[in-house]
Amino acid sequence: MTKFVFVTGGVVSSLGKGIASASLAALLESRGLKVTLIKLDPYLNVDPGTMSPFQHGEVFVTNDGAETDLDLGHYERFIETRMRKANNFTTGQIYKSVLEKERRGDYLGKTVQVIPHVTNEIQDFIKRGAGYGTDEAVDVAIAEIGGTVGDIESLPFLEAVRQLSHRLGPNQAAFVHLTYVPWIAAAGELKTKPTQHTVQKLREIGIQPDALLCRADRNIPDDEREKISLFTNVPQWGVISMPDVDTIYRVPRVLHEQGLDALICDKLRLHSPPAKLKRWDDLVQEVLHPQGDVNIAMVGKYVELSDSYKSLNEALRHAGMKNHVRVNIHYIDSETLTPETVDQLTRYDAVLVPGGFGKRGIEGKIEAARFAREHKVPYLGICLGMQVATIEFARHVAGLSDANSTEFEPEGPHPVIALITEWKDADGSIKTRDENSDLGGTMRLGAQSSDVAPGTLAHSIYGPVVTERHRHRYEANVTYLDRLRKAGLVISALTQREQLTEIVELPQTVHPWFMGVQFHPEFKSTPWDGHPLFNAFVKAALDHQVNTRQGGKGAPE
C-alpha cells in the first residue's frame, strides 16, 4: 500500500515548499523507494495555462500535455519519476469534477456540500496521483499543499488530507510543515512566535505535524529548536533547521544530516537501506567550482520575475555544469531593444530568445535575432524565439519585408507564422480565425516526435528523431517554407504526423550556431545529464568567447 507524506506551509509563501518536497523525495528515492509527488493548488483556475507569468511564474508542461505548476519542474529535476496530469490539480478542477457529477445525477439528489463531497473528491484525486491500489502504485507519495495554513481557500485541502490520514490508519501518513523563523535585526535574535502560531492553527484544524522545516537566513540554534519543540508538541529531532544555502542541490544533504528521511521512514514503518547521496555531493562540487564563465543574454518580456523562466534558467545552469562553467544569465527586456540599442548584445557570448505570448516586445526580439544572425553570435530561439527568427529571416533575407505572425498582425500581407486555420486554401484565400475561441485548451501540448534531417546541426545534437514537449498555438506557415528554404533557411525537423516545422537553423557554413526550436526542451533538462540542445548551445557560447578574445575584441563585460 502506498504511504503518504503531506507537506504544508505557514507564515508566508515562497519559502520553498517545492524544493523541500522534491528534496525529501530525492532522499527517499536514494534509499531505493519508489516515490512520486503531487501538487495541490488552491486557486480556482482549472489550470495555470491562462495565468500571467508575473503572478504564477512559468507553466510547466508534462509529457502527457498537462499545463501545471512550476513546482512539478522541481520534482522532475530532483527525482527519476516523470510527472503526469494526475500529479497536479487545482480547486477549479475539483469543483468542476464535483459539479459535473452533480449534473449527471451521480449524487442521487443529495445536497452537494464541501464536506463530504468536495473533500472526498480531493482524496480521490490524491489517490489517483499516487496510483493508489493499482499496478502503478508507488511506495511513498508526497503531496504538497499550496498556499499557507490559515488561508480560506486551503481549508478544504487540509480537511481532506486530515480525513485521508485518519482513513488510512496508523503509520500510513506523515505531516511535514514548512515554516518561517525570521531574524529581527533590531532585536538581534531569531523569533519563533510565527512558527508557534502557524502550528497552533494547523493543530486547530486537527493536524499534528511530525516534522517542522524551519526556514531562516541562518542555522537555528539548539535552544531555539528546543523552544519550538516545546510549544508545538513536535519532538526536538523533528525540528529541522533549513537555512539559506548556496545552491538548491545542497538541500537534500542538509535535510539528511538532520535526519528528516530517517524520521519519515520511522513514522511510516518503511524498511530501506541508508540514503546514497554521493551524486548530490558531486553535483554541489560541480556547481561551486566552475572552470570558467559564459555570459548569455536572455531577451524576453517577463524578465522582472525570474520564475517566469524557471526551467529555462535551470537548463542553462545544467548545461554549464556539463561544460564545467558558470552560466551567467543577463535578462534584457525586449521592449528596450531597438536598432539603436541592440549593439549592447555585443558584450555577451550568446543570445537566447525564450517563449512567450502577445505582441509586446516582439520587435525587440526580432532585433535580437537579426543581431545574432548578422554578427555570427550563437543564437537559440525557443517556441516564440523560433518564430521571431523565422520572421526576421523572411524580412531581411527572403525579401518579405512585411513578414509577421497573425498573432501580432492579423491582416498582414505575409503571415509566415499563423494558426493552422489561417494558412492559405487552394484558391489562395486566407482562412479566418474564430475570434470567440477560448484561450484555454487550444494549444499543441505535450510530447511529440519529429524526424530530423541528416547533415544538419539538429541531427548532430539529437540524431534522427527528436521527442520534446510543446506549448504553443501558432506554427510556421507551410505555404512560405519553400521560399524560406530557397533563401537559405534550413528546416531541419518536421513533425512525423502533420509535417509541421519543429526546428529551423542556418547552415554552419554561414553561421557557426543558429537554431530555433518550436518546442520547449528546458522541460526535460536534469542536473545529472543536462540537455543535449542546451549543452551544445553553451559549448557554442564558449567557442564564441574564445574566438572573440583571440580576435582581439576583449572579454564580455
Which residue numbers are catalytic?
A: 383, 520, 522
Q: Of the candidates 1, 123, 7, 133, which has an alpha carbon nearest to the alpha carbon of residue 71? A: 7
Q: How far is CA 486 from CA 71, 394, 490, in A?
A: 44, 11, 9
Which residues, other chains included, contact 429 with Cβ-Cβ below 8 Å and sequence gap of 6+?
none
Residue type, 546: V
The separation between CA 211 and the C-alpha centre of its own chain, rounded to angstroms, equals: 27
Q: At what angle do helices 91-104 and 155-168 cross, to 10 degrees?
A: 70
Q: How far is CA 526 from CA 131, 199, 292, 310, in A?
A: 24, 35, 21, 13
H/E run at residue 201? helix 193-205
Task: Check residue 277 and report its DSSP letter.
Answer: -
Cell readout for 64 is 502527457
Task: Check residue 173 and report its DSSP letter.
Answer: E
3-class state of residue 153 by DSSP: helix
Cell readout for 194 is 510565527
3-class state of residue 540 by DSSP: helix
Distance from C-alpha of 299 to C-alpha of 342, rounded to nearest angstrom: 11
